[in-house]
Amino acid sequence: MTVQSTTNTAATGQADPLKSVADAMRDAAHSATEDAARAKEKLREAGAGVSHSVSRFAYTTSYMISYGVVYATVFVAKSVPQDNPIVEGFIDGARAAIDAVNEAKGISVEPVGAAAQASPA
């Protein structure tokens, strides 16, 4: 073995480890970029799923509350005898509330008795 061949082997031996380190760093940077892009996409997908879950929860909660309120009200209204001042007060209050909503919306509705009084019998 000559001095020159020893030097070439040493130079080649030093170049390979540095090239390997450079290749490893390049691959690591490339992998990190790809992983970041995949993570970003997964977050977008998860965000859509979370948004859908929150929306569904809000809908279900609102539905359950409104169903419970209306069901309880109808149950109580149907269990009370019809010919008494309490039921008449409920009916009059409901009509007044409907009229107030219609007035607030700008809807003009003729009272039920006014149509019968206006037409000759």
Q: What is the pLDDT of residue 119?
A: 54
Maximum alpha-carbon separation in the chain: 132
Distance CA 72, CA 90 (A): 15
Q: Are residues 4 and 50 in the same domain?
A: yes
Quote the number of domains for the chain. Answer: 2
What is the value of pTM for the model shown? 0.39
Contacts 24+ apart (CB under 8 A), 83-86: none
Show Cβ contacts of residue 80 under 8 Å, excluding neighbours closer than 6 positions.
Answer: 86, 87
Provide the pLDDT for residue 118: 55
The string of DSSP letters for 36-79 reads HHHHHHHHHHHHHHHHHHHHHHHHHHHHHHHHHHHHHHHHHHHH
Residues 5 and 60 in one domain: yes
d(C-alpha 22, C-alpha 26), whole Å: 6
Task: Note the pLDDT of residue 97.
Answer: 93
Q: Identify whether residues 59 and 73 lie together within a single domain.
A: yes
> pLDDT at position 65, please?
94
Quick check: is 121 in a domain? no
Instruction: Say whether both 71 and 106 belong to one domain.
Output: no
Amino acid 98: pLDDT: 92
CB 87 within 8 A of CB 80: yes
Residues 3 and 60 in one domain: yes
**Residue ranges in the chain whose pLDDT is less than 70:** 1-15, 110-121
Domain-located, residue 24: yes
Strand, helix or coil for residue 87: helix
* Residue range(s) defining the domain that contains residue 101: 81-116
What is the reported pLDDT for 60? Answer: 94
87: Cβ–Cβ under 8 A, 6 or more apart, which residues?
A: 77, 80, 81
